[in-house]
Chains A and B, each alone.
Chain A
């Protein structure tokens, strides 16, 4: 079930470019909307993540980072894999909130496939229900350090 991690390692100026302009695609796999609101909080003037070149894009083709919120349900699994395969590589995956990290209170449910890293490779986990915008920004910074 797990997709291959077919990332290319970028070097030199390409690496600099990716570090300075990570475009984010926000993918909700059926979360309770709480993490999504916290992600949108990070875009507000108070936090202003465009300072670091982070822009929210509408299509996985443009994305460098997939922010996944919510548990991976049986229904959403094929769509999740589809979106991950559509994203132009190198593409990093961040699990936002307790649900994609572990499954949280849904762990063991009949509709729960498992934590996100069972399905696609995950680079950074941001636990919390919901995580604060500060935590999300810190998670993105840690992702950039891994590039």
Chain B
């Protein structure tokens, strides 16, 4: 019916890729802002607010600051954006066609998930702004903090299912043997570690250290305006959707049941509640938090998994 290329284009641009992820991601940021407003006893913005923000930013002037590295300044947001689109496509295709031979494995997804953070670091360093530079340095330290625990948590799943590292294989395994979460204590521990990883990766409170608005204005985003800022905002909104779906794919084969909506909303509400009830940590506190208790927890998880619990 369609050629292979047209189908790939459809996957990347429309359904699991750009359009779908952007719309759901922007609606998720609205849920975030609305719930935050209700928690503070306010009314909050209307549902189209994130869309209006993006449309407005797209129409505004894009300024490239004098003395910045022009190429890096312009390319950085696009790289992060492309990586998120690709991640979303890979995760959803793996969920839709778990039988297909290769659409990417966990390693690819983990590498692609690095890219938005690296784009932020490049953006902050290239913009010739002290706030941007400090924000980039903090983002780097935050990445060092959370990645080790997250990798251990993901590889707990791999150890548990007998060494399957393709996403489709993990979905298949869960279709045959039940959810990963129901497989034992090690997976529950890994899931908790992943839940704590989410706010850090998304850079929301208490881990909004790179863009702490009271100290760093807007961190790496400080010099950005217009289209580039719109792309950054969109990337962040899409990550808010893609990351929980990735974690849910790893631990609960939910994507083709209506339960996916419930699971996703639960994870989103968890992120929002943590965000609204915790003050921002200092970077050293975040590092200590992830390297001592959380990394310890994930190591316990992987040991439990290797003895079969």
User: Could you list which residues of chain A lie within 8 angstroms of chain B, going by C-beta atoms?
Assistant: 8, 10, 13-14, 16-18, 20-21, 45, 48, 50-53, 57-59, 61-62, 64, 86, 88-90
Contacts and interface: CB of A to CB of B under 8 A. Distances in A.
Contacts of A45: 40-42
Nearest to A43: B42
Contacts of B221: 62
Interface stretch (B11-19, B56-64, B180-188): B56-64
Contacts of B63: 61, 86, 88
Contacts of B229: 61-62
B284 interface: no
A17 B52 contact: yes
10 contacts: A14-B58, A17-B54, A17-B55, A20-B48, A21-B49, A51-B43, A53-B53, A58-B222, A64-B56, A88-B225
Contact of A58 (B52, B62, B213): B213
Contacts of B40: 45
B262 interface: no
B21 to A, nearest CB: 21
Interface of B: 33, 37, 40-46, 48-49, 52-63, 213, 217-218, 221-226, 229
A68 B213 CA distance: 20
Given A13-B55, A21-B49, A48-B44, 7 more contacts: A17-B52, A17-B55, A18-B59, A50-B42, A50-B45, A62-B225, A88-B63
A21 B229 CA distance: 14
Contacts of A20: 48-49, 52, 56
B116 to A, nearest CB: 19
B45 A53 contact: yes
Nearest to A7: B61
Contacts of A16: 52, 55
A90 B213 contact: no
A14 B55 contact: yes
A97 to B, nearest CB: 24
Contacts of B45: 50-53
Given A21-B49, A21-B53, A14 B42 contact: no
A61 B59 contact: no
Contacts of B49: 20-21, 53
Q: Which of A13, A17, A50, A61 has the most CB of B within 10 A?
A: A61
A45 B39 CA distance: 10
Contacts of A17: 52-59
A86 B129 CA distance: 13
B170 to A, nearest CB: 40
Contacts of B57: 17
B223 A61 contact: yes
A90 B62 CA distance: 11
A117 B219 CA distance: 32
B53 A61 contact: no
A6 to B, nearest CB: 9
A41 to B, nearest CB: 14
B204 to A, nearest CB: 16
A72 B223 CA distance: 25
A59 B221 CA distance: 9
Contact of A14 (B46, B53, B56): B56
Contact of A59 (B41, B58, B60, B218): B218
A13, A20, A86 interface centre (most CB from chain B within 10 Å): A20
A88 B60 contact: yes
A16 B226 CA distance: 16
Report which residue of A10, A16, A17, A48 has the largest number of chain B beta carbons within 10 angstroms of its beta carbon. Answer: A17
Given A21-B49, A59-B222, A62-B229, A50 B44 contact: yes
